[in-house]
Structure formats: C-alpha cells, structure tokens
Amino acid sequence: MIDTARYFRMNASIWPKLLLAGAIAYPIGVWAQAGTSHIISQKNRSYAPGQITINKGDTLKIVNDDIFLHHTYIDSGGMSYDSGGMEQGEIRNITFDEAGNYLIKCDIHPKMKLDVTVQ
C-alpha cells in the first residue's frame, strides 16, 4: 500500500531542483547559440590574421586599423557580402551560418586576403 503523504513529499521535493536546473541551463543554451565574435584587423594593407577557423554561427568583427579607406567583400562559398567603403576605425560584423570555406577580400587592395574556414 502507498503511503500517500510520503509519496507527495518525495515528488514535491524534486520540483525546486528541476526548476533550478532549468534556470541555469536555459541561459547557457542561449549563450552557446549566440556564437563567438572574432576580431580581424585591417592593418598595413592586409588582414590580420590572414587565416581563421571558426564555428558555425560565429561572427567576424572586422576593424579598419589603417588611416586610409578599406573595403570588405565575400563572393565565395555561396556567400555574397559587400561592406561598402570602410573609413579608419569603422567596423563590420559578418556572421557565418553555414559551414564551408570563404575568401574575404578588399576591392581597393587586391592583395588583401582572409581565408575563413567555418566548421
């Protein structure tokens, strides 16, 4: 025969623990989905670093650290992006949602290249 009061106490005690676990897990899940931001510098007419491997959902934060105009574009890996002109100090954030290989260039300085691997 079931001791009803004891059965209720056992089950009641688990709810605060479940709620606490959910309260902790939910923000961690949201944070993990948000992806990581990686800073790329446009300096001395090159991208620094010139190669980077990131995870799906990550963002490249491209900063013009030169005193002259740069540009950022992608026309590879099935992705098309054009930053327009970037003055000194200007920033562009580009998020990569699909795995693949991408080449980021600058229309003003053809030697500027950044290889991006998204895994």
Which residue lies nearer to Cu ion by CB, 70 or 92? Answer: 70
How many CB atoms are closer than 10 A to CB 39? 13
Which residue lies nearer to Cu ion by CB, 16 or 84? Answer: 84
- Do 43 and 62 contact (CB within 8 A), yes or no? no
Residue from 108, 116, 48 nearest 82 by CA: 108
Residues 2-61 that bind Cu ion (CB under 5 A): none
Which range touches Cu ion (CB under 5 A), out of 5-13, 62-70, 77-85, 91-99? 62-70
- Do 54 and 67 contact (CB within 8 A), yes or no? no
CB of 79 to Cu ion, least distance (A): 19
Of 62, 74, 86, 106, which one interacts with Cu ion (CB under 5 A)? Answer: 106
